[in-house]
Amino acid sequence: MSETLLFSPLSIRGVELKNRIVVPPMHQYSAIKGFPTDWHLMNAGKFAAGGAGLVVVESTKVERRGCGTVGDLGIWDDKFIEPLGRLVKFIKQQNAAVGIQLGHSGRKARATRPWEGDRPLQRTPEIDDWEEWTPVAPSAIAHSEKWPVPRALERQEVKDLVQAWGEAARRADAAGFDVLELHGAHGYLVHEFLSEKSNQRSDEYGGSELNRMRFITEVTEAVRMHWPAHKPLFVRLSVEDNAGWGPEQSARLATILKPKGVDVIDCSSGGITDVAPILGKEIKYSYQVPLSEYVKRHADIMTMAVGLIIHGDQAEQILRDGQADLIAVGREILNNPNWPMDAALKLGVEGPFRNVPPQFGYWLGTRDKRGFGTQPSTFQNGLRDPGKVS
């Protein structure tokens, strides 16, 4: 197979992605007071150099209260533009497009890092803005009995927050990002507005399904006012949350958001309760792909598939079956940052090293020409395949 969809370019608005492989937002818990560190350069840089078409920087918070942990990235002030710009420049130098996810943790803010137990933080003297960091949500309903009851946002605070997302988009543009993704999934603030489990407001932001969709709709409008028309806008949804919100609601929401300027729905699941939709079912490759397919077909919008997409031929098949337009590879790219190059080799793509920088792509190419390629087919019991020796 030399002609693949996975390695064909995709243009969205004025941005051309060199292939369909996306590094999804993955939190690094490594910012200092909201500022990126060299860790972020190293982390995103290796994925960009590995050949992905688009690298999306982790959930970056639109206000201080929205930080999930002590190491969240921030974009709630102009002071973040310059250091984020450095990260953008570094990723672009590796010939990848660069996105950023804007987020707010809502009632799941002020928590430990996952490997510290994924539970509410205890007050310590090192956290000098404890009160400022009080978790807020649409309603004063705790995520579960393990979590504190958040403070319900006043109506004016909701309106201020909509503007905060718009301001964050302005800063993301000023920093040079190509793609913006709004985090509307995983039980965080936007999802909390969508779900009737967490949203029991009596104003225009609660009650009917349309009212619960109002916050994300206004956020999208505010973001689009500041985010240039030539740049793509993605929204990540928990297309199924097993708590009253499912593919039908997601497709209806996508239909509302598309004319507001949303280009791609990034189709994830879960997070509004502690019981993930996949629990209790067989966990298998591509488990969220049917959600992407549903939204794509019913809302007539581009989608990104994510979740246990591990192999190149698996990714290619999803695209060929028309189940998604983009493929996000998360944990597998943590395992192998050169996943795109590896997938190109395994799929038999012509010029498999052209997606990576010549500093290493050139040398792998010359080795390949001499018959010592990295494809499994050239390795037979430790001997070169004689037919490939040049």
For residues 186 to 225, the per-residue mask of contacts with ligand FMN, x marking binding by CB under 6 A and - elsewhere, is x---------------------------------------
Pick from 61, 108, 143, 183 the residue near ligand FMN by CB under 6 A: 183
Determine if 304 is a binding residue for ligand FMN (CB under 6 A): no
Pick from 94, 101, 105, 249 the residue near ligand FMN by CB under 6 A: 101
Hey, which residues does 138 pair with through a beta bridge? none
Pick from 19, 30, 43, 59 the residue near ligand FMN by CB under 6 A: 59
Closer CB to ligand FMN, 59 or 292, in the complex:
59
Residue-wise over 332-349: b if at least 16 C-beta within 10 A, else e? ebeeebbbbbbbbbbbeb
Determine if 277 is a binding residue for ligand FMN (CB under 6 A): no
User: How buried is residue 5: exposed, middle or buried, by Cβ count under 10 Å (0-12/13-18/19+)?
Assistant: middle
Determine if 26 is a binding residue for ligand FMN (CB under 6 A): yes
Residues 305 and 266: their CA atoms lie apart, in Å, by 6
Determine if 83 is a binding residue for ligand FMN (CB under 6 A): no
Give CA separation, 218 vs 61, 210, 223, 371, in Å. Answer: 18, 12, 8, 57
- Give the 3-state secondary structure of residue 58: strand
What single letter denotes the amino acid at residue 30?
S
Determine if 337 is a binding residue for ligand FMN (CB under 6 A): no
The answer to whether 205 is a known catalytic residue is: no
Closer CB to ligand FMN, 307 or 337, in the complex:
307
Determine if 24 is a binding residue for ligand FMN (CB under 6 A): yes
Tell me the Ramachandran region of residue 118: left when phi exceeds 0, alpha when psi lies from -120 to 50, beta otherwise.
Answer: left
Which residues are known catalytic residues?
A: 188
**Residues binding ligand FMN (CB under 6 A):** 24-27, 58-59, 101, 183, 185-186, 236, 268, 306-309, 329-332
